[in-house]
Amino acid sequence: MALTAYPFDDQDTTETEYSRLFRELQDSGVADSNGGPGFAVSANASAMTVRVQAGFAIVRGHAVLSTGVETVLIPAADPAARIDRVVLRLDPSLDSIVLAVVKGTPSGGVPALTQTDTGVYELGLARVTVDPSVGSISADKVFDERPFVGSRVGAWTTATRPVNPRLAQLGFNTSLLSWEYWTGTGWTGIAPTVEWTSVAGKPAAFTPVPHQHDWNAEVTGKPGTFPPTGHPHNAADLDNGTVAFARLPTGTGSAQVAAGNHAHAWGAITGKPGTFPPSSHSHAAPTTVSRANGSDRVHGNSPAGSGWYSVWVDGNHNFCHNTSSIRYKRNVRDAALDPNAVLALQPRVYDRRDTTDDGVTTPGRTDEFGLIAEEVAEHLPQLVIHDEHGQIDALRYDLLAVAMIPLLRRQQDRIADLERRLDQLIEDLAPCVAPWDDSE
């Protein structure tokens, strides 16, 4: 087993060794009071950029100092919303710490930070929500996520307290023989001395002297006799009494029996069928199930309003119906869809994987017909649904027809143009064609 010690005179010490030493002395974070301006990220409403204030930070044992405001470019918006992260990125292989952006996945969650022990390490500064097709970042889309390094613990007298302490800086005051911390406006003891005169609700003497209470004048809620004489209680007077006790069916007083140790007359039971068990019977046609109307609803069932809704299911398996009225929408704008993206979609035939439940394997269905979500994502990511982990999961087949509208318009425009050109060609060639002469 090899032992390594450092740093010593006339001995080379690597950045990896220094980093390992310094990270034991201080966590990664911005060296500032909690919420201070160091490396604070703010929006630049006129462009796809954000501003990062000057500051000093520790990143896995390495130091980084910025002396001015830096501008960081946010990647262009996607058709779907995403979340990016502004970070300080340490890369030992490049001997650098730089400001960078970790781009999120459209319709996905917050991208993970790379935080290796010896390679790249990213310290998050802010999350930036990039809405669909925007050209700038507004202030309400930037969310601070800076961690701050801890304050040093020291010792001082009242006269030698730190001149410019950070918020929550902790130390032991040897003048007062007590721990204290900086609140941002003054020093406060962790366990301040409490004077007996300031304690509320205390007895006149400590400990209270022996004393007595008058049974009639001072004790409330007492029974009439002590100990109480034997007596009954009605079930209605007991909390949850009907769970443990029940009245005798014929009793009207306080007589009680344990629940279950009694019977009820058949005539006292309401809502029962005429015979027990009920005689054989059937149900009339209006209440039988029929598929005559194309569904498993009862025959003759009519929808509320003017028609049926399509059903959506969210990630928590909750059902809801879709809506399309403008009164449910805002920020309506044209969708930039490429007709070629629709033509690039490739229908597939596939088999479902087998499923296993309680040890029983059910073969998956075969020869199903449809699209592959990952392939659709390459051309029309707007149709792709991601799960709670950000993975591609499903498709919005109901939006496929909407995506085909630009393709249909383009084809219609081409047909109209070809018809116009054909009509013009016929018109131009008409003088050149001799009329038919039957005599020849």
Q: What is the pLDDT of residue 59?
A: 92
Q: Establish if 25 belongs to a structural domain.
A: yes
The length of the chain is 440
Domain boundary among 79, 109, 144: 144
Q: Which of 144, 174, 202 is the last residue of a domain?
A: 144
Shared domain check, 118 and 28: yes
Residues 71 and 165 in one domain: no
Range of the domain at 131: 15-144
> pLDDT per position in the chain (440 positions), as tens?
588 787 888 888 888 888 888 877 777 888 887 788 999 999 987 789 999 999 999 999 899 999 999 999 999 999 999 999 999 999 999 999 999 999 999 999 999 999 998 899 999 999 999 999 999 999 999 999 998 887 777 787 888 787 778 888 888 888 888 899 989 899 998 876 777 777 887 777 766 777 788 877 888 877 777 667 676 776 666 655 554 444 445 544 444 445 556 677 877 888 777 776 777 766 565 544 445 455 555 445 666 666 777 777 877 778 887 788 889 889 888 887 888 888 989 999 999 998 888 888 999 899 999 999 999 899 889 889 998 888 998 998 888 888 888 889 899 999 999 999 999 999 888 888 756 555 55
**Do 132 and 97 contact (CB within 8 A), yes or no?**
no
Domain contains 440 = no
What total number of domains does the chain contain? 3
Which residue in 116, 101, 25, 103 sits closest to 63, CA to CA?
25
Residues 37 and 123 in one domain: yes
Give the span between the Cα atoms of 298 and 292, in whole angstroms.
Answer: 9
**Environment class of 427 (CB within 10 Å of its CB; exposed 0-12, middle 13-18, buried 19+):** exposed
pLDDT of residue 114: 94
115 in any annotated domain? yes
β-pairing, 178-182 vs 170-173, is: antiparallel
Q: What is the pTM of this model?
A: 0.41
pLDDT at 55: 93
Domain of 120: which CATH number? 2.60.520
| Boundary of a domain, candidates 116, 144, 172 | 144
Two structure tokens written together for 351 = 């088999």
Same domain, residue pair 139 and 160: no
Classify residue 257: in a domain, yes or no.
no
Asked whether residue 201 is assigned to any structural domain, the reply reads no
Same domain, 30 and 135: yes
Please indicate, yes or no, whether residues 54 and 74 belong to a single structural domain of this protein: yes
Which residue reads 């950045």 in tokens?
Answer: 15
Residues 28 and 107 in one domain: yes
| Whether residue 54 sits in one domain with residue 19 | yes
Q: Are residues 171 and 99 in the same domain?
A: no
Say yes or no: 96 and 183 in one domain. no
Provide the pLDDT for residue 420: 93
pLDDT at 285: 53
pLDDT for the residue 245: 47
Residues 185 and 136 occupy one common structural domain: no
State the pLDDT at residue 292: 47
Q: 72 with 181, same domain?
A: no
Tokens of 233: 């209680």
| Residue 271 resides in a domain | no
82 to each of 69, 76, 338, 357, how far by Cα in Å?
26, 11, 21, 36
Q: Is residue 321 part of a domain?
A: no
Own/partner pairs for 251-256, CB < 8 Å, 24+ apart? 256/232
Is 252 domain-assigned?
no
